[in-house]
Amino acid sequence: MSIRALLNIEHPIIQAPMAGACTPALVAAVSNGGGLGSLGAAPMKPDVLRAQIQKIRALTGRPFNINLFAPGSERFDADAMPGKAARALLEKYHQELGLGELRMPSGIFGPAEQQLEVLLEEKVPVISFHFGVAAHHVNAIHAAGLKVICSATTIEEAVHLESLGCDAVIAQGSEAGGHRGTFMGDFQRALIGTMALVPQIVDAVSVPVIAAGGIMDARGIVACKALGASGVQMGTAFLGCHESGIPGVWREQLKASSPSRTTVTTVMSGKPARGLANRYIQDMEALEEAPMPYPLQYALSGAIRKKAAQQGNPDFLAMWSGQGVGMLQELPAAELLKALVTQTRLLLAELDN
């Protein structure tokens, strides 16, 4: 089955569910254009999540996707404390930015079980997961008549997701921005490029494969189609849209960046993620201490990131970005999607001649 038939969409283009960067307006614009708009809901409390879903439904009657993080990723040691050097650095940042005393971190995502209950009650057409998915969640989603997809960064993960009953697998290449979806083994061994990862996952599973990572224009879409992908998921490409929820300073940094400025780091959140290197990442990576476990490492910088966004200061932001950043376009989401579809058709026609 094609991804278009599976998800009931016109074009096999999925806007990635980037937590903190997606808005109901962005989701609806992509879905109304015939793609699949997506909302990253991992940080949202159940009542906020329900309100966001209702806002999306007020803007579109077409299918959309809501993304959650696997419940296992929310577990952490409540007694964990930052190292001495990290604490001193963070206190220095607090003083520099005029913030109060450094507060000890706590959980900032989920609870995924309650979030999923909302999605099931609201009959969200497509539910996606990052960091893996539990079998009983797949079963519950299917029992509600909904579709479930999940990210894989290796062939082994893709095969596992198919065995759980996932309707499609997102093959997340190492070029992708944001958190790596790795949930089996060492993330460093799972840094496989999209070009190498997609065809091997296509050969290993029978469900549709959605290519993700570094895809910014029609050339990337056509290339992934040639690799056997049934569709593509694009994140960084949509950060240039005015409907995205990112601070202006983040967008300006993206416009001025190149692939070599992106880095995969664990010091921002405690899990590996690709974003634009900045002072915070460089200072934290220079410490001779391991970062706190996810999501506590992320929570440590919460007040700092918020203040930096207010000040338009890129030194302390988590500016997630894929390696295709140099091809960023500033277009309304509907225009970007239309251009992608039109240019893809033209390119396929040219290659046919």
Band of residue 104 on the pLDDT scale cut at 50, 70, 90: confident
CA distance 323 to 272: 15
Residues 57-103: tens digit of each pLDDT: 999 999 999 999 998 888 888 788 899 999 999 999 999 999 988 88
End-to-end Cα spacing for the chain:
27
**By the 8 A CB rule, do 330 and 240 touch?**
yes
What does the pLDDT read at residue 78? 79
**By the 8 A CB rule, do 80 and 293 touch?**
yes
Mean pLDDT of 45-62: 98
Residue type, 50: R
Residue 280: φ, ψ to 5°: -60, -50
Mean pLDDT of 222-246: 98
Kindly provide the b/e burial profile for residues 206-233, where b requires at least 16 CB atoms within 10 angstroms of the residue's own CB.
ebbbbbbbbbbbbebbbbbbebbbbbbb
Band of residue 201 on the pLDDT scale cut at 50, 70, 90: very high
CA distance 352 to 219: 14
Give the distance from CA 210 to its chain's centroid. Answer: 14
Residues 320-346: tens digit of each pLDDT: 999 999 999 999 999 999 999 999 999
What is the dihedral sign for C-alpha 169, 62, 178, 322?
positive
Does position 110 have pLDDT exceeding 90, yes or no? no
What does the pLDDT read at residue 331? 97
Residue type, 62: R
Whether the full predicted model's pTM is greater than 0.85, yes or no, is yes
CATH code of the region 3-352: 3.20.20.70
What does the pLDDT read at residue 187? 93
CA distance 318 to 300: 12
Does position 191 have pLDDT exceeding 90, yes or no? yes
Neighbouring-strand partners of residue 233: 14, 212
What does the pLDDT read at residue 108? 84
Does position 105 have pLDDT exceeding 90, yes or no? no
User: Quick check: bond before 111 cis, omega within 30?
Assistant: yes
